[in-house]
Chains A and B, each alone.
Chain A
Amino acid sequence: MEKKYCVYICKGCGIKEALDVDKLSGAAKKVQNFKIHDVLCSPEGVQLIKDDMVKDGINTIIIAACSPRAKAAEFTFPGALVERVNIREFVAWTMEPNTEGTNDAAYDYLTMGIVRTQKSELPEPNILPDLNSTILVIGGGIAGMTAALSAAGAGQQVVLVEKEAHLGGFVNKLYKKIPTGSYINKPLIVDTDINKTVTEVENNRNIKVYKSTTVSKTDGQPGLYNVTLSNGETVKIGAIVMASGWKPYDANKLDYLGYGKMKNVVTNFELEEIAKKNGGKLLRPSDGKPALKVAFIQCAGQRDPNHLPYCSSMCCATSLKQSQYVRQNEDALAMIFYKDIRTPGRTELYYKEAQNNPGVMLSKADVTGVSDAGNGNMFVEMENTLFGTKTGEKVKVEADLVVLATGMVPTSRAPQEYADGLTKAAGGGDEAKKNYLEQTPKPDYILNLGYRQGPELPTLEGASGFADSNFICFQYETRRTGIYAAGSVHQPMNMAEAMEDGAGAAFKAIQAVDHAQRGIAVHPRAWDMTYPDPLIIKCTACKRCTEECPFGAIDEDEKGIPNYNINRCRRCGTCMGACPERIVSFKDYSVDIVGSMLKAIDVPDDEDVFRIACLVCENDSYPALDTAAIVGKKIDPSVRFISMRCLGGMNLVWVADALSKGIDGMLLLGCKYGENYQCHFVKGSELANTRFSKVSETLNRLQLESGRVELMQIAINEYDKLPEMINEFVEKVKVFGPNPFKSM
């Protein structure tokens, strides 16, 4: 595309009152065409641009007006390269009106915007050939079956792989389930009807079911996965739902509660099997006699740092359900001992039904142990009960059957523990690593990804092995694009939730395939047609991009040369920031583009005039700056903000570019990192910080103070503090004095 430029300068919203628009047009003259308009976002202003596109063939539009976060619909011009230069929020609203500094700032912003368009190309989607849209679902439990039926119901082809010989997963083992919806005047236990769902799956023409099968290898990327099954077959897959489920916590570890020592101490899962086998009768394992005094011990090995630190969230309701099993025998008593009864939402009404049942006794209690009471009976020992006992006073309650409400362990946990162990061993040297690999049994892998960064979905620190998202608001955020966890491998959840989750994950899988077919990224840059396009001939195989990619999108060949799987890529630009050879570029975002923008900042020789370049994460810091402008905060006129997709794209060469040119200081604004990180690209700002630690080398080489460059972690709601933080940094740089490179 031959670029035909026009700069449009808006005078509205206080711009013309704050700065000299004629002077600003001096910057616009670089591209010859420019127009000044009173209210560019008005229908007339927008029409002016559209007319220019038609009449004069303008295809590269530079709009110096408000923030790109405002008036997005008005300033959308399909087919044109559009650059928004934010002179409203960044200049007119935050700087002293009509000073030289303010006019200089506007001039620089427009110059930088022009440079950016000169170096950018109109993005075109890169649609890879031979894309497949089949959804692979791993796991035929309730979450997986729901995912399969959901995708099939939307017309998608589905391959469902189940490890066991039957579909249905854990629900197969249940005697009854809790009904959904209202519990008022409704039966409290109902048939699971799992066979109906199994039949529906098996009879669905869009679903191909493989039973007694696992996944041996997963290669490729969204739209282009080659998945090898344990039967040797290879299937072509578009996207994957991982619904591999959970296992009960190993109750043998709960010997203090009598498990393994006394036959009549069973787990909640075993109780289901007993009920199912005996048509609902709860017969004791030791002697087959009907249980008449059943004690349920909640949180058995849960909310306990020695076992599972989390709450499995379904065990309270499960025990309440099982108390209804007990109560099918009118002579039997159910006793539930809990830390807290957790029946959130409408499940509270289910709890209420149990409370109203004369044969169900509930008490808060700290259970300390279970001992033999003879005749196959047990004493449940406890303290801090609600029986009117004093604090610390022990109580013994006799039961003829004890049920341990044990929790869920995700199937993703074992591979993660193995990987963690390997990392730890590798830290002890090659020998230790070798020993670990030789001596540690391999876990059951779920995906067996042929990815550079490991065979499974990475789980988060503190997630106890669940393949969870780190975001409250984005539950299907995944660090392996196109692969979505669902059900109890995702988070602890109950059946109804697992079904919704299966549907949600299936939807995200369909969306991933659809976006691959359109050549665009997925969340959060779900519109983005650009993609990293490395100049591989200049690659030195340093492997930094392959190691640092937060999404494991880049593999390597045997020589260490990276292979960019663009359908796995989320377009954050971390690879661009990581690359010491500066060879990774997007059509509108590259080391050269940002470097050229930095170099476009005019640095006057005047020793009293400072220039601070500030790289800003567009997701949190940029909106915080806009908000600061809205609430009337002031920012030092020496500061120039440059928007980044993510601070992870920060390339160290920019520090040298800027400081060697005479820029006095540089500020990097990224998201919060560490545990509970807020970076939308996982660890962008953290990686920037790691790189940043090497900045002092650059600065030492230039013989500059290391304090001239600083990284700050900013949340979007810190707009009230941010201007002050920036202004304080400017003052700090002023104390260092002007950059000696200024006049060179």
Chain B
Amino acid sequence: MAENKVLVVGGGFSGLTAAVEAAEAGSDVILVEKNPYLGGRVTQLNKYFWKMCPPNCGLEIQYKRIKNNGQVKIYTMAEVEKISGSEGNFEVTIKTQPRFVNEKCTGCNKCTEACPEERSNDFDFGMSKTKAAYLPHNQAFPLQYVIDAKACKGSSCAKCVAACAYDAIKLDMKPETVTVKVGAVVMATGWNPYDATKMDNLGFGAVPNVITNMMMERIAAPNGPTGGKIVRPSDGKEVKNVAFVQCAGSRDENHLAHCSYICCLASLKQASYVRELYPDAKVKIFYIDIRTPGLYENRFYTKIKEDKNVSFLKGKVARVEQAPNGDVKVTAEDIHGGSKITETFDMVVLATGMQPTAASLKNAGVAMTDDGFVDQAALPKGIYATGTLKTPVDVARSAQDATGVVMKSIQSLRRK
């Protein structure tokens, strides 16, 4: 008898969609997420392109569906160690890192208030700090605090333990391993932002006012490090002249050979963040091709192009350097003009791309193609990859693809 249960690895938008949809079709679901919260990459976004709506709006619905459905078992801070067996009968080993806060947590915030230690906030890409006992973000699901083992002084401090009235903090929690049986597996571990320090010529890490597009999302978000005020990191100055460098690492055989799909639309979106906040601000987008395929996507591009304060220059950026007063100098080729141009900006945003996470699934028996994605042809029957593990896609395509993959996983459950 096959297990009527689906394992979903990754709780980002693809995985979440797969989990909710499978559960609502009557399957039991195990959802494994590496972070202490669900939602993945999109929880860090201020808004979605082209619609300019907040990601937490859709996530809230997904969480509500999970809560009311009751068939999704969630493991946060967890990763899959091993998968054995075959379609209909997989045995999966899941390793969970200690959260140090159990499910008795009510989300009352007393531990954070009591905690004397600080940590760099990875959710904000290090642009802010949280206490060592923290809530990942203010709309986090599950609404359960977490303690950063690296920042926490442990039992020698234990102020949080004393502050917690609910017996929710256990500083001696250890990593745990569980084994589960499932009929099908959906891999949805998504992507990481490409490491911008690898591009020596683009100044990231060396020039303080060069940021990545993902950092821009945090800066623009109301729950971000600046409360949604778009200011530059070095001196908090409001930005009135911003450059976007497209294909920062993407479409480049020395970095990411693929096109990361989302970066053109993301920069158009971020240009509108700047323009909405500062009516006199100017934005310049350096690009190779503007890729806004589709119906609404192209309409969105057309709309942004109508803004006289947003200009586009076809040409690859050669260099990004420090200029006086915290400004940033950009040198680029102007393909149409056939010349080289140099311009200075308040801040430069690198449209960095997607580094797929296929390599991290090696232990789970997932083979990788030459270009770094999941080799679907080599996947064992009953194991499916979705979202950006297959090719870079946006949220809409991820949601679509995840639903199609759920169809396949349901077939795996029903086949035997």
A-side contacts of B37, CB under 8 Å: none
Instruction: Tell me if B54 and A715 are in contact (CB < 8 A).
Output: yes
> How many angstroms between the C-alpha atoms of A352 and B259 in the bound complex?
11
A-side contacts of B410, CB under 8 Å: 154, 507, 510
Instruction: Tell me if A73 and B70 are in contact (CB < 8 A).
Output: yes
Is the CB of A349 closer than 8 A to any CB of chain B?
yes
Chain A min CB distance to B201 (Å): 21
- Given B58, B369, B375, which contacts A473 in the complex, CB threshold below 8 Å? B58
Q: A150-B411, A154-B407, A717-B56 are in contact. Are A344 and B293 (CB under 8 A)?
A: yes
Instruction: Tell me if A342 and B258 are in contact (CB < 8 A).
Output: no
Instruction: Tell me if B295 and A466 are in contact (CB < 8 A).
Output: yes
Is the CB of B104 closer than 8 A to any CB of chain A?
yes
- Given A391, A464, A475, which contacts B399 in the complex, CB threshold below 8 Å? A475
Is the CB of A504 closer than 8 A to any CB of chain B?
yes
> How many angstroms between the C-alpha atoms of A384 and B108 in the bound complex?
61
B-side contacts of A523, CB under 8 Å: 24, 61, 65
Chain B min CB distance to A327 (Å): 22
Q: 0/1 per residue, A119-162, Cβ < 8 Å to B?
A: 00000000000000000000000000000001001110000000
Q: Which chain B residues numbered 335 to 381 have a C-beta less than 8 Å away from chain A?
A: 335-338, 369-371, 373, 375-377
Q: A347-B259, A627-B138 are in contact. Are A476 and B54 (CB under 8 A)?
A: no
Chain A min CB distance to B400 (Å): 4
B107: nearest chain-A partner, CB-CB: A70
A150: nearest chain-B partner, CB-CB: B407
- Given A364, A507, A620, A720, which contacts B57 in the complex, CB threshold below 8 Å? A620
- Given A13, A343, A471, which contacts B108 in the complex, CB threshold below 8 Å? A13
> How many angstroms between the C-alpha atoms of A338 and B54 in the bound complex?
34
- Given A13, A468, A510, A527, which contacts B69 in the complex, CB threshold below 8 Å? A527
Instruction: Tell me if B291 and A474 are in contact (CB < 8 A).
Output: no
The stretch from B116-124, B126-134, B221-229, B233-241 touching chain A is B221-229
Is the CB of B162 closer than 8 A to any CB of chain A?
no
Instruction: Tell me if A500 and B400 are in contact (CB < 8 A).
Output: yes
Is the CB of B106 closer than 8 A to any CB of chain A?
yes
- Given B62, B221, B397, B406, which contacts A497 in the complex, CB threshold below 8 Å? B397
Chain B min CB distance to A498 (Å): 10
Chain B min CB distance to A300 (Å): 15
A-side contacts of B402, CB under 8 Å: 504
- Given A346, A472, A507, A627, which contacts B53 in the complex, CB threshold below 8 Å? A472
B-side contacts of A345, CB under 8 Å: 258-261, 391-393
Instruction: Tell me if B291 and A507 are in contact (CB < 8 A).
Output: no
Q: A181-B376, A345-B391, A349-B257 are in contact. Are A720 and B51 (CB under 8 A)?
A: no
Is the CB of A71 closer than 8 A to any CB of chain B?
yes
Q: Which chain B residues numbered 267 to 281 have a C-beta less than 8 Å away from chain A?
A: none
Q: Which chain B residues numbered 100 to 116 have a C-beta less than 8 Å away from chain A?
A: 104, 106-109
Q: A472-B53, A523-B65 are in contact. Are A719 and B222 (CB under 8 A)?
A: yes
Is the CB of B26 closer than 8 A to any CB of chain A?
yes
Chain A min CB distance to B359 (Å): 15
The stretch from B80-88, B91-99, B296-304 touching chain A is B296-304
Q: Which chain B residues numbered 138 to 152 have a C-beta less than 8 Å away from chain A?
A: 138-139, 143
B-side contacts of A476, CB under 8 Å: 400, 403
B-side contacts of A542, CB under 8 Å: none
Instruction: Tell me if B391 and A472 are in contact (CB < 8 A).
Output: no
Is the CB of A660 closer than 8 A to any CB of chain B?
no
Is the CB of B13 closer than 8 A to any CB of chain A?
yes
Is the CB of A274 closer than 8 A to any CB of chain B?
no
> How many angstroms between the C-alpha atoms of A310 and B335 in the bound complex?
25
B-side contacts of A12, CB under 8 Å: 106, 108, 165-166
Q: A492-B294, A620-B57, A717-B221 are in contact. Are A504 and B259 (CB under 8 A)?
A: no
Is the CB of B77 closer than 8 A to any CB of chain A?
no
Instruction: Tell me if B21 and A507 are in contact (CB < 8 A).
Output: yes
Instruction: Tell me if B54 and A303 are in contact (CB < 8 A).
Output: no
Instruction: Tell me if A474 and B399 are in contact (CB < 8 A).
Output: yes
> How many angstroms between the C-alpha atoms of A522 and B61 in the bound complex?
12
A-side contacts of B62, CB under 8 Å: 473
A-side contacts of B48, CB under 8 Å: 472-473
Q: 0/1 per residue, A628-661, Cβ < 8 Å to B?
A: 0011000000000000000000000000000000
| New A-B contacts (6) at CB < 8 Å, excluding given A14-B108, A503-B404 | A347-B259, A349-B371, A470-B51, A499-B404, A510-B25, A678-B57
- The 8 listed contacts between A and B (C-beta, < 8 Å) are A39-B106, A349-B258, A462-B296, A476-B400, A500-B400, A500-B401, A504-B401, A717-B222
Interface residues of B (CB under 8 A from A): 13, 17, 21, 24-26, 46, 48, 51-62, 64-65, 67-70, 104, 106-109, 135, 138-139, 143, 165-167, 221-223, 227-228, 250-251, 257-261, 289-299, 302, 314, 335-338, 369-371, 373, 375-377, 391-393, 395-397, 399-408, 410-411, 414-415
